[in-house]
Amino acid sequence: MDPNVPYEPDWALATLAIRAGHERTAEQEHAEPIFPTSSFVYGSAAEAAAKFAGEEPGNIYSRFTNPTVRTFERRLAALEGGERCVATSSGMAAILSTALALLKAGDEIVASRSLFGSTVSLFDKYLGKLGITTRYVELSDLDAWEAAMTPATRLLFAETPSNPLSEVVDIAALAEIAHRQDALLAIDNCFLTPALQQPLALGADLVIHSATKYLDGQGRAIGGAVVGRDRELEEVFGVVRTCGPCLSPFNAWIFTKGLETLALRMRAHCDNARALAEWLEAHPAVARVHYSGLESHPQHALAARQQQGFGAVLGFEVKGSGAEGSRQAAWSVIDATRLLSITGNLGDVKSTITHPATTTHGRLSAEQKAAAGITEGLIRVAVGLEAFEDIRGDLARGLDALA
Ligand SMILES: *Cc1c(COP(=O)(O)O)cnc(C)c1O
């Protein structure tokens, strides 16, 4: 951490989220300012030369040095307990920049099967073109991770808990497997955020974020970030600096202000999600609920140990006869809603509902869907912060009609 930034690392997360990262300017502003400027000006040719040569710290050009972006980076690094953070233009840009920075042709990735769809396309189509290959394993099966590794494996990549089935991997055990042969472990911490899970403290090397989701929390902007040690982050910074997938100052400001309420919001998201999961589990039209906060979840104990909350994305399967009947039942529940938004997005104060088999996971073959547990009756809800009774009532309309 930069010693010039006025915050104390032993502050609690809620305090860091509000206070860390902002270096007050000579204007003595209270709230964090926005610096919408592409470049910066120097007092002399010698000062410009020293800054460009990296001999003197300071701002040069907003592709890689912007004070508003830096405030967000420092705040998120403090929350994740990382030495450094590099912000990016999107969550996908964070994953791409990490891969370009740390991998080369011939290297291999081992990743969990249940990943964000675009992450799989990035690995298979675009990294594949560069000679970097990816092998996929069952998220929670540690033996499968180990078996998929070869001497060329440089990166292990997982999302935990998974979307939409809320499966969990033991991060500490996976880190140990990675480090046994000098591979790095990257955790996409989008679903829980540092308010509920700190992968670096559990042994992961890198944390990836789509800031678009809960870090903003109100569905306003696209952005991303990578957090970790100086050693790896200096390489990621080099990619962003040179290749240009940088975060805009305005979006950085939105995320900085979003972080201030992160702990509070995540607690409220979790409370709503848990209440909804319990209600769904007892509903006669529901066959199964996938939420690691439920005692019926096969990995509830691990989730309770490794996480400070269970998040707000849950899946549930409605009863129906056969694939066609199940799809019709699921669609009828979705179409009966008036409050929930029918959209694939998540991490918003607004609750969203989606049918994974025909949207987010629609590109998968029937076999791939079966392997990933994406049935035709499965519905995903990303539970927002509306009053619980209203969310429950909105789902009850369709479910009661089925029962
Ligand atoms: C949304 C998402 C991403 C991609 O982030 P963008 O900001 O949309 O580029 C990556 N991982 C997970 C888990 C996501 O939900």
Residue ID of nearest Cα to ligand 1 atom 5 = 91
Q: 104 burial class (0-12, 13-18, 19+ CB within 10 angstroms)?
A: exposed
Residue ID of nearest Cα to ligand 1 atom 1 = 210
Confidence of residue 6 (pLDDT cuts 50, 70, 90): low
Confidence of residue 4 (pLDDT cuts 50, 70, 90): low
Percent of the chain with pLDDT over 90: 91
**Average model confidence (pLDDT) across the chain:** 95
pLDDT tops 60 at residue 9? yes
pLDDT in tens, 217-255: 999 999 999 999 999 999 999 999 999 999 999 999 999
Strands 286-290 and 224-228: unpaired
Atom of ligand 1 nearest to the CA of 212: 7
Confidence of residue 1 (pLDDT cuts 50, 70, 90): very low
Supply the pLDDT for residue 362. Answer: 87
Instruction: Please compute the mean of the pLDDT values over residues 4-13 and round it to a whole number.
Output: 79
Query: Closest Cα partner for 133 from 114, 118, 148?
Result: 148
Atom of ligand 1 nearest to the CA of 93: 9
Residue ID of nearest Cα to ligand 1 atom 12 = 116
Supply the pLDDT for residue 361. Answer: 87
pLDDT: is 8 or 110 the higher one?
110
Supply the pLDDT for residue 192. Answer: 98
Pocket of ligand 1 (CB under 6 A): 90-92, 116, 119, 159, 188, 190, 210, 212-213, 222, 224
Q: Which of 210, 251, 346, 352 to mutate to test the pocket of ligand 1 (most atoms within 8 A of CB)?
A: 210
Query: Closest Cα partner for 170 from 210, 126, 140, 127?
Result: 140
pLDDT in tens, 102-133: 999 999 999 999 899 899 999 999 999 999 99
Instruction: Please compute the mean of the pLDDT values over residues 263-289 and round it to a whole number.
Output: 98
How far is residue 24's CA from residue 46's CA, in Å, rounded to a whole number? Answer: 26
How far is residue 307's CA from residue 230's CA, in Å, rounded to a whole number? Answer: 25
Supply the pLDDT for residue 137. Answer: 96
How far is residue 317's CA from residue 315's CA, in Å, rounded to a whole number? Answer: 7
CA of 302 relative to ligand 1 center, distance in Å: 24
The domains of the chain, with CATH numbers, are: 13-259 (3.40.640.10), 263-402 (3.90.1150.10)
Q: Which residue has the tokens 């940088």?
A: 246
CA of 157 relative to ligand 1 center, distance in Å: 14
Instruction: Please compute the mean of the pLDDT values over residues 137-166 and round it to a whole number.
Output: 96
Cβ-contact 225, 70 below 8 angstroms: no
Cβ-contact 148, 272 below 8 angstroms: no
Supply the pLDDT for residue 368. Answer: 83
Confidence of residue 3 (pLDDT cuts 50, 70, 90): very low
Residue ID of nearest Cα to ligand 1 atom 8 = 91
Two tokens at 9?
A: 């690392």
Cβ-contact 315, 379 below 8 angstroms: yes
pLDDT in tens, 300-317: 999 999 999 999 999 999
- The pTM (predicted TM-score) of the whole model is 0.96
Q: Which helix (H) or strand (E) holds 209?
A: strand 206-210
pLDDT tops 80 at residue 25? yes
SS3 category, 84: strand
Residue ID of nearest Cα to ligand 1 atom 6 = 91
Percent of the chain with pLDDT over 70: 99
How far is residue 340's CA from residue 244's CA, in Å, rounded to a whole number? Answer: 36
3, 8, 115, 120, 224 from 108: Cα distances, Å: 37, 39, 17, 14, 23
DSSP assignment of 244-282, as one string?
--PPPHHHHHHHHHHHHTHHHHHHHHHHHHHHHHHHHHT
pLDDT in tens, 325-384: 999 999 999 999 999 999 988 999 999 999 999 998 888 888 888 888 899 999 999 999
Q: Which helix (H) or strand (E) holds 372?
A: helix 366-372
In the sheet with 378-382, reading across from the earlier edge strand, the strands are 286-290, 313-318, 378-382, 352-354, 341-342
